Structure 1
Amino acid sequence: MSQPLLPDARRPANGGPKAAARNRAALIVAAREIYAAQGLDAPLSSIARRAGVGQGVLYRHFPDRDAVATAVLEENVRQIEEAAAADDMLFADVLGVLTWHLTESAAFLGLLHVRGATGRSDALAHALTLSDRVERALRERLPDGHRLSAPNDLMLAVAMVSGATNGPTREVREGRAAAAWRLLGVEVGPVRPFDA
């Protein structure tokens, strides 16, 4: 049986490509929030609901759970790269952006611990590439002679802070991250996302 057509006043407008881009961005933001609250095993339906779209829209953009997590990771890395490339950002400011992502994204924490992983799957190779991009972005702003200048110290410090960044709320996670940076003797700027 076919569905009756809705009058034009009740039929949702098709926003075209602009709506698709907005929907994808909303899904990434929603996934980051849901993952932070419920972990990486959260139902995809929760992400679609939080984004204000149907599950069909989610699956048009992301064919599976791994694709959603990868998109969140790539967005995290992109923001860190953009922060590092901004003229007015100091190293401490970029660390603030990194720390915001540590407190907001459970998937991002796993990415930063991937260096010790064994095996060579496509997913691991992609995660290593993203981790390398984070390191390059941070090193762009790392001042000469900084306490984290030694070859392995920077990402070891980031992994140590990410390991301390756990807890039931963002505020708790942020407090633990701030304490970890302080114990390492590293100054961190405001903990916030980067908006170009």
Structure 2
Amino acid sequence: MTRQPPPGERRSANEGPKAAARNRAALVAAAREIYAESGLRAPLSAIAKRAGVGQAVLYRHFPDRSALVFAVLEENVGQIERAAQSVGLADVVGVLTWHQTESAAFVGMLHSEGVGSHAEVPSYAAELSRRVERALRLRLPDGHRLAARSEDLMIAVSMVSGAVTGPTREQREHRATAAWRLLGVEVGPVRPFTG
């Protein structure tokens, strides 16, 4: 027997692809939050619950844990790349800093270049790290202190990532911006890129 909605309540229409896109975005956002709070081994059920969907929906979009981690990291890097196409270096560094303060997984990915030969570092992490470097170099002016040697830029990024500690987002952001300042790098607004 099919349950009829009570009087005055409308049954929601099947939104198809719109709901799928919305569910995927909610899962990625929830995963970012949960990973920041509990690390990459957090239960997938907690991510589904935070996103407001069932685990079946999670698995429909992300067949395993690594696919979800990759989706979060890919979104982070994509924002940095889009920022590098349209804003100056200080603003790109602000976007990078936001992701550093929001995501331990992102910080780990940025450190993957130096350990890319180790089996525990997925190859996609090293590639994402290289994409961040390319994006930053798009806005790095000739003669900038971080352009002196090829490895200087990502060493600076790793140094700042190492400073991103503290129990609150505000503390992590304060330490990250202080580290950039000590390196002589201007930081624009620390926020995600929405453009």
TM-score w.r.t. length of structure 2: 0.92
User: What is the Cα deviation at residue 6 of structure 1?
Assistant: 2.4
Instruction: Report 1:19-58 matches (<5 A).
Output: 19-58=19-58
Q: Which runs of 5+ in 2 are unaligned?
A: none
User: What is the Cα deviation at residue 10 of structure 1?
Assistant: 6.6
- Aligned AA for 1:23? N
Aligned to 2:100, the other structure's residue is in SS state: helix
Aligned length: 191
Aligned to 1:6, the other structure's residue is in SS state: coil
1:184 aligns with 183
Query: For residues 152 and 118 of structure 1, do their structure 2 counterparts lie closer, same or farther at Cα, with a shift above 3 Å needed?
Result: closer
User: What is the Cα deviation at residue 81 of structure 1?
Assistant: 0.4
Instruction: Report 1:70-109 matches (<5 A).
Output: 70-86=70-86, 89-109=87-107
Instruction: Report 1:123-142 matches (<5 A).
Output: 124-142=122-140
- Aligned AA for 2:103? S
1:110 aligns with 108
Q: Distance in 2 between matches of 1:42 and 1:120?
A: 23
Aligned to 1:41, the other structure's residue is in SS state: coil
1:154 aligned to 2:149?
no
User: What is the Cα deviation at residue 120 of structure 1?
Assistant: 5.9
User: What is the Cα deviation at residue 55 of structure 1?
Assistant: 1.1
Q: Percent identity?
A: 69
Deviation string for 1:133-175 (max 9, x for gaps)? 1111110111111111131111110011011112211111111
1:6 aligned to 2:7?
no
- Aligned AA for 2:48? A
User: What is the Cα deviation at residue 5 of structure 1?
Assistant: 2.4
TM-score w.r.t. length of structure 1: 0.91
Q: Distance in 2 between matches of 1:39 and 1:67?
A: 15
RMSD across aligned positions (CA) = 1.7
2:166 aligns with 167
The answer to whether the 8 Å contact 2:80/2:96 transfers is yes
User: What is the Cα deviation at residue 50 of structure 1?
Assistant: 1.3
Deviation string for 1:33-82 (max 9, x for gaps)? 11111221211111111111111111111111111111100000000000
- Aligned AA for 2:161? S
Q: Distance in 2 between matches of 1:7 and 1:193?
A: 43
Q: Which runs of 5+ in 1 are unaligned?
A: none
Aligned to 1:148, the other structure's residue is in SS state: helix
